[in-house]
Amino acid sequence: MTASSVGTWVVGISIFLMTVTLHEVAHGAVAFVFGDLTAKERGRLTLNPLKHIDWFWTVLFPVMLFVSTGGRFAMGMAKPVPVDFRKLHRPKRDMILVAIAGPLANLVFAGFLLAALHVIPHPVLLLGVYFNLGLCVFNLLPIPPLDGSRVVAGLLPEPFDRGYLGLEPYGFLIVLALYFTGLLYAWLIPGINLLANMLHVPELRL
């Protein structure tokens, strides 16, 4: 492995860690603004990625995707920031705002990397753009506890919202089922392509 390839891996891993960290910090920061101090009290409103690593979602799951796609695709996320929705000023409305903060942070970071790509046309930056778009789309899946489910729950009347969020213990299994059946890609790829076209992101060739 050359020094150049080592540098590329270092930059790529750094972008990955910053991506998942920004996503979770955005959730906690918006929750803080709307009255829930849980993330701050537990030391999660920090950009230190070590505070946010989850050994499955941040390490194993990305490796699974990377290996299963022959190095063409990877996706991962950090340990979810704790949010007590009961402490929010207006729980139903604020739940939606807290939920969309994470995907929105990824869109903003994708825009930053896209701007950097025009200055430094390196493939790792383009991969970073697509990874952020992918994380945004993945988290919008309406499967508890992903962000999309919080948006749906915020729009559902009681008691349907509680019943819907009651699926959370099974969310991990549902995501795995989507992954092994290939349906996860049926959600991710069109969503990523849609955002990439909207942002005029160069085509990714692997």
Query: Is 24 labeled as catalytic in the residue annotation?
Result: yes
**C-alpha dist (Å) from residue 134 to 5, 156, 196, 200:** 24, 26, 10, 15
Nearest 5°: phi and psi at 116?
-65, -35
Given the residues 24, 158, 168, 203, select the one marked as catalytic: 24
108-122 burial code (b ≥16 CB/10 A, e <16): ebbeebbeebeeeee
Q: At what angle do helices 123-139 and 3-33 cross, to 10 degrees?
A: 30
Using omega within 30 degrees of 0 as the cis cutoff, is the peptide bond preceding 145 cis? Answer: yes
Known catalytic residues are 24
